[in-house]
């Protein structure tokens, strides 16, 4: 009959604990990867559905049909920055759910396509990641049911989160894009990256 000494028994329990810990971390890691993959897949399918919704709105506008009042999460249009290869649906509002699916129109600013300073927010690690490469004179296009608007980037600034001056009313037509900064910061970012463009 074999006898295990206390040190051997302790070592064996330690090895079992490590095995189970590795398995647990593997399962947690797999679930995290699956969640991210499903979220990205859902967002991609949603973007296709948003494009279809925008086409229906354009058709309704051409037929002079009235559109329902705007509510949180509704598709308002599409923003494109050709040089960056960026094209994403603009949705109403900036809730967490809305910003997972597209970029959001900031309440209290004019709607896309209207006169004034339109505010649009997006996440730095998804749809607005490409903004880190934007520069003055780049073109921004906004397609809505009422038409296509062209904007030219004037400036890019880094501001504090509470700086609301960036959304000051404009006498002309403009668009202000905002996302968190720095782009590769882990956790709640301390600053905001702002892009301002005027309508051409």
Contact 88, 79 (CB under 8 A): yes
Is 178 part of any domain? yes
Which tops the pLDDT comparison, 138 or 48?
Answer: 138
Residue 166: DSSP 8-state = G
Is 169 part of any domain? yes
Over residues 108-125, mean pLDDT:
94
- Mean residue pLDDT of the chain comes to 86
At residue 171 the predicted structure's pLDDT band, cuts being 50, 70 and 90, is confident
The number of folded domains in the chain is: 1
At residue 193 the predicted structure's pLDDT band, cuts being 50, 70 and 90, is very high
Is 110 part of any domain? yes
Q: Facing residues of 139 across strands?
A: 152
Is 102 part of any domain? yes
Is 127 part of any domain? yes
**Which H or E run contains 102?**
none
Task: Please state the separation of Cα 53 from the chain's center in Å.
Answer: 19
How far apart CA 190 and CA 161 sit, in angstroms, is: 7
At residue 63 the predicted structure's pLDDT band, cuts being 50, 70 and 90, is confident
Is 43 part of any domain? no
Over residues 145-154, mean pLDDT:
95
Ranking 76-90, 166-180, 186-200 by mean pLDDT, the lowest is 166-180
| Residue 80 belongs to domain with CATH number | 2.40.260.10
pTM: 0.77
Does the pLDDT of residue 49 top 90, yes or no?
Answer: no
Domain containing residue 136: 59-199
Is 21 part of any domain? no
For residue 40, the model assigns a pLDDT of: 62
Which tops the pLDDT comparison, 158 or 26?
Answer: 158
């Amino acid at each position: 009959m074999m006898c295990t000494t206390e040190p051997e028994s302790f070592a064996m329990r330690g090895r079992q604990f490590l095995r189970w810990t590795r398995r647990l971390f593997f399962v947690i890691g797999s679930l995290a990867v699956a969640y991210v993959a499903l979220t990205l897949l859902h967002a991609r399918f949603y973007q296709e559905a948003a494009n279809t919704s925008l086409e229906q709105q354009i058709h309704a506008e051409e037929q002079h049909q009235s559109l329902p009042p705007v509510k949180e999460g509704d598709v308002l249009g599409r923003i494109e920055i050709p040089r960056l290869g960026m094209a994403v649906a603009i949705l109403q509002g900036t809730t967490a759910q809305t910003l997972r699916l597209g970029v959001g129109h900031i309440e209290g600013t004019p709607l896309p396509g209207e006169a004034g300073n339109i505010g649009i927010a997006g996440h730095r690690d998804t749809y607005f990641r490409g903004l880190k490469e934007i520069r003055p004179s780049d073109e921004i296009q906004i397609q809505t049911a009422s038409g296509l608007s062209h904007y030219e980037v004037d400036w890019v600034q880094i501001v504090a989160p509470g700086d609301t001056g960036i959304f000051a009313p404009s006498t002309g037509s403009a668009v202000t894009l905002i996302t968190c900064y720095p782009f590769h910061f882990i956790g709640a970012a301390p600053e905001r990256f702002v892009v301002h463009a005027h309508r051409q």
